[in-house]
Amino acid sequence: MSGPPATEKLPQPDPGKTVVVIPTYNERELLPQIVEAVLALDGAWNALIVDDNSPDGTGDLADELATDEPRLTILHRPQKEGLGPAYLAAFQKILGRSEIEFIGQIDADFSHDPADLPRLLAALESADLAIGSRYIQGGGTQGWDFRRRILSQWGNAYVRLVLGANIHDMTAGFRIWRRAALETIDLAAVETRGYGFQIEMALRALTADCRVAEVPILFTERRAGQSKMSGSIVAEALVLPWRLRKLR
C-alpha cells in the first residue's frame, strides 16, 4: 500500500478535531452511557449520533442529551435503511465541517470500548485509516460462544481470500479515518447497505492506496438490548466479496 508523499505534511491526530459517529436504532438504554464515555475522553472529543427513527425513542433522548452539549450533534433519518446509508449520511454531514480532520466509528452498545479511541487516533500518526482489530496479536473477543467466534474468524478469512486483502479484520466497525482518506473515496458509489458496508469501505480504502493500521482491541458482547446479527447478514457476507472483486 502507498499513501501521500513523505514530504506532505499531514494534520496531526487531535481529539478536538475528531467526530465519533454513533449509529443508533433502538439503543435508548445505553445511549447516555456511550455518549458520556466518548465525550469524557481527554482532549474535547466530539460525537455525532445518527438515528434511524428508532421506535423506542432513542432519537428523542439524543436530542435531550445534546441540549446543553455543544460537542454532541444529532442527525435524524426518517426510517431504518441499514448501517451503510446511516454512516454515509453522517460522513457527508461531517465532511461539510471544515474544522474536522478525523472521523471515527463506534457501536452504541459498548462492544467497542470508547477508552480505545485514543489508541486508534494515535495510529493515524502514520496511517490514513485506523481499524480496531480483533484478529491481530493482542486483540480478541469476549462473551462469544464457540460458534460465533468461528463464524467471525472464518468469515474474515474468507473475505480476505476472495478480495486479496491484507487487512486481518475486514468486518470491524471500530475505526477512525483521516478526512483526506474519506474524501478520496466516492461515497456516492458505495453500494452496501448492511454490515457488509465495513468490508466495502475497507476495500475502497485499499484501492485508494490508503495506509491502513490495525490496532488490537477486545470486542465484547453488547451490554444490553438485542443483537442486530441475523441470517441475512451472514448470507450477505458470503455473496458480497464476489460482488466487490470488481473494485480490485
Fold of 15-247: Spore Coat Polysaccharide Biosynthesis Protein SpsA; Chain A (3.90.550)
Q: How far is residue 157 from each of residues 101, 137, 232, measured CA to CA in Å?
A: 32, 16, 19
- Whether residue 224 has pLDDT greater than 80: no
- The domain spans of the chain are 15-247
- Whether residue 7 has pLDDT greater than 70: no
Query: In this predicted model, what pLDDT tens digit does every residue of 133-181 receive, in sequence order?
Result: 999 999 999 988 888 888 888 889 899 999 999 999 999 999 999 999 9
Q: What is the pTM of this model?
A: 0.90
- Whether residue 61 has pLDDT greater than 90: yes
DSSP state of 126: S
Q: How far is residue 20 from each of residues 33, 142, 152, 222, 235, measured CA to CA in Å?
A: 14, 23, 25, 19, 29
